Amino acid sequence: MITVVGTGTGAPLPPGVLTGARLVVGGRRHLEAVRLPEGAERIVLGPLAPALDTIEEYVGTDRPVTVLASGDPGFFGIVRVLAERFGTKTLDVRPGVSSVAAAFARIGLPWDDAVVVSAHGREPRTAVNVCRARPKVAVLTGPGAGPAELGAALRHAFGTPQATSAPAAGARVLVVASALGSARERVEWVTPAEAAARDWGPDVSVVLCLDETRTRVPGAARTVAGGRAEPAGWALDEDEFAHRDSMITKFEVRALALARLGPRLGDLVWDVGAGSGSVAVECARLGAAAVAVEKAADGVARIAANARAHGVYVDVVHGSAPEALAALPDPDAVFVGGGGRELPAVVDACARRARRTVVVAMAALDRVPAARAALTGAGFSCDGVLLQSSRLAPLPGEVTRLAATNPVFLLWGSRIPVSEDGCEDGSTDGSEEGVAQ
């Protein structure tokens, strides 16, 4: 039997939990905080594989094992790895209070409407994108993905000018919870810029990223946990957006563009030549972090208004592509809805930065070959369609006709994956909540 005990956020170990253990496994600080049974072997966790092999030896000879973990070991923790290796019936899990629950408790906020994301042993970009897209996020941190890195990535988001510290609409505050439950516990409120400027050391337990304008007062009681619900529909009617002279991506085109972009929570999507920002807003409604690039000043204001009207975050950049793209973080997917003569250069710049997909909408047939060449030249596979729809329109006498919309060419390029061995990386990185470092 393997007993997995959550500790480290202030709660003492359950009485007698170590009694009879022949092997005790845990982080150094957990092992130093307890008295081991006489004769018990101990393993200070570093790489997981050797520890799991030793646990297997003990389990195979019916010798009891205790694993000391941080907080709730079933929440982004060691329980997953142990269950995969030894089976759930081998485990006796004694959860403690998770660092996420403890951090929200310290600041007096409920967290059933929070999104929890792990940056431990992973690229921080997913956590950053979730923080850009959601008003209440808890980030489980790790080396190279702590408060400083999150702050550096977020400090210029949401239109905050680089030359000022004035907060923009949607600007975030970071709550850094360190050494929770210990005598060294600290809970600090900082701006992203302040977080980026500090060395936080190894004691950070969790970082909360909050839009205080939306989280200061708890919302209505919830039925489903984990942030806002998925939208009931997409490809919204043009009337759902403010736009100028019908300069908006029509909903039929938007529907296919969204299908090819595949926006989801954790993604970053660029909407280049955004116009009304309808594509950026729709991507944000589906969970992605969205950046809209628009050269017209009135368009910038219109995009911001449309984002507010739909209750989503869109970071609006006033500038012309491709120059305005240089300072932006790399996107997962890009929609190009404008460009004029610069379209080939814009598509090329987007394709060389996009991790997954670029979708290009064009009304002019003459621009299709150059856009296609830019996509294939950047190593993308390319496909496309000509979209032309006819909508029902009323006529006098209570009859209906078909009113044709203007045809639009839609090209999409998908990055061709490069792999040396064709195998997906399935390595295990440890347990951010489950076992102390």
How high is the pLDDT of residue 8? 75
* Digit-coded pLDDT (tens) for 133-189: 999 999 999 888 999 999 999 987 765 333 333 344 578 999 999 999 888 899 999
**Cα separation, 339 vs 311, whole angstroms:** 28
* 157, 161, 164, 166: CA torsion to nearest 10: -60
pLDDT of 195 above 70: yes
* 84, 138, 278, 301: CA torsion to nearest 10: -160
**Cα separation, 46 vs 30, whole angstroms:** 13
Q: DSSP secondary structure string, 311-362?
A: T--EEEEES-TTGGGTTSPPPSEEEE---GGGHHHHHHHHHHH-SSEEEEEE
Which value, in Å, is the radius of gyration of the alpha carbons in the chain?
Answer: 26
**Cα separation, 350 vs 321, whole angstroms:** 9
pLDDT band at residue 421 using 50, 70 and 90 as cut-offs: very low
Question: In this structure, is the dihedral angle defined by the CA atoms of residues 104, 105, 109 and 111, taken in order, positive or negative?
Answer: positive
* Digit-coded pLDDT (tens) for 254-296: 999 999 999 999 999 999 999 999 999 999 999 999 999 999 9
Give the amino acid at 186: R
* Angle of helix 147-154 versus helix 125-133 axis, rounded to 10: 50
- Which segment, 18-32, 285-299, 407-421, is predicted with the most confidence on average? 285-299
Mean pLDDT of the chain, nearest integer: 88
Note whether 174 and 190 are within 8 A (CB).
yes
Whole-prediction pTM: 0.87
Q: Which of 29-33, 160-164, 268-272, 429-433 has the lowest mean pLDDT?
A: 160-164
**Cα separation, 4 vs 294, whole angstroms:** 53
Q: Which residue has the higher pLDDT, 436 or 86?
A: 86
How high is the pLDDT of residue 218? 75
Q: Which of 95, 105, 93, 165 is nearest to 138 (CA)?
A: 105
Q: DSSP secondary structure string, 48-85?
A: HHHHHHHHHHHHHTT--EEEEEES-TTSSSHHHHHHHH
pLDDT of 360 above 80: yes
